[in-house]
């Protein structure tokens, strides 16, 4: 019985990709994830996530990581369809891993609706969608770690050439970088999500 866990990383960020990751594991091996200290990635330090990343990959039967680039995110936000975009990519991950059942962290206020969307798109029967699934289910916790590490690596790549800070709108270093780029070039670099409200304000668009 193969069980899949799916989670995202970087949804609220103004910089870089939105990462969706899934892991697939035999049900009788799930306890091993808890035994190595797998929990919600937000409760772990970057070093702890990196260490667990390798251990998780050694235990699971399969995994898949999808990255949604900023221009694709912008297209969905303009249509008010970010949840649908995330559901589409979670379905893509599940379809790739072909589990018997899946657990996903819902970004929709209505977890049942989100689960039905993924189930329909992935042609999968058993999709369990809930809020805080990354804290409730070890398979989703493991997926959250895989997603976060891949997301962190993508940001580190950008940081090699640009002083972008954390990449979140609440970070003054991030917003000052974007403001400077707009003042200099009239538009932010392609790794910036232009549909985010703080960026639209800097660009002077509605």
Do the domain assignments include residue 166? no
Q: Return the pLDDT at 142.
A: 97
CB 38 within 8 A of CB 141: yes
Which single residue is written with the structure tokens 């893509």? 92
Q: Return the pLDDT at 41.
A: 87
Q: Return the pLDDT at 124.
A: 87
Per-residue model confidence as pLDDT tens digits over 122-141: 998 899 999 999 999 999 99
Per-residue model confidence as pLDDT tens digits over 131-180: 999 999 999 999 999 999 999 999 999 999 999 999 999 999 999 999 99
Same domain, 62 and 129: yes
Entry pTM: 0.94
Q: Return the pLDDT at 85.
A: 97
pLDDT at 88 over 80: yes
pLDDT at 33 over 80: yes
Q: Return the pLDDT at 10.
A: 96
pLDDT at 24 over 90: yes
pLDDT at 19 over 80: yes
Same domain, 183 and 83: no
Domain that holds residue 6: 2-159
Number of domains present in the structure of the chain: 2
CB 33 within 8 A of CB 25: yes
Mean pLDDT of 7-17: 97
CB 39 within 8 A of CB 90: no
124-131 contact pairs (CB < 8 A, 24+): 124/91, 124/94, 124/95, 124/99, 126/100, 126/101, 126/102, 127/94, 127/101, 127/102, 128/101, 128/102, 128/103, 128/104, 129/103, 129/104, 129/105, 130/103, 130/105, 130/106, 131/105, 131/106
Same domain, 110 and 185: no
CATH at 43: 3.30.420.10
């Amino acid at each position: 019985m193969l069980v899949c866990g799916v989670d995202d990383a970087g949804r609220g960020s103004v910089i870089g990709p939105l990462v969706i990751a899934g892991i697939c594991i035999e049900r009788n091996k799930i306890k091993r994830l808890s035994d190595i200290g797998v929990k919600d990635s937000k409760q772990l330090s970057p070093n702890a996530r990196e260490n667990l990343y390798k251990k998780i990959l050694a235990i699971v039967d399969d995994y898949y990581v999808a990255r949604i680039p900023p221009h694709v995110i912008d297209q969905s936000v303009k249509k008010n369809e970010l949840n649908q975009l995330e559901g589409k990519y979670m379905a893509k991950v599940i379809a790739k891993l072909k589990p018997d059942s899946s657990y996903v962290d819902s970004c929709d206020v209505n977890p049942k609706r989100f689960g039905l969307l993924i189930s329909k798109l992935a042609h999968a029967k058993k999709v369990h969608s809930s809020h805080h699934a990354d804290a409730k289910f070890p398979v989703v916790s493991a997926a959250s770690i895989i997603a976060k590490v891949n997301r962190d690596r993508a940001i580190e790549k950008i940081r090699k050439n640009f002083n972008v800070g954390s990449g979140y709108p609440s970070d003054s270093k991030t917003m000052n970088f974007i403001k400077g780029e707009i003042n200099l070039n009239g538009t932010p670099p392609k790794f910036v999500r232009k549909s985010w409200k703080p960026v639209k304000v800097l660009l002077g668009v509605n």
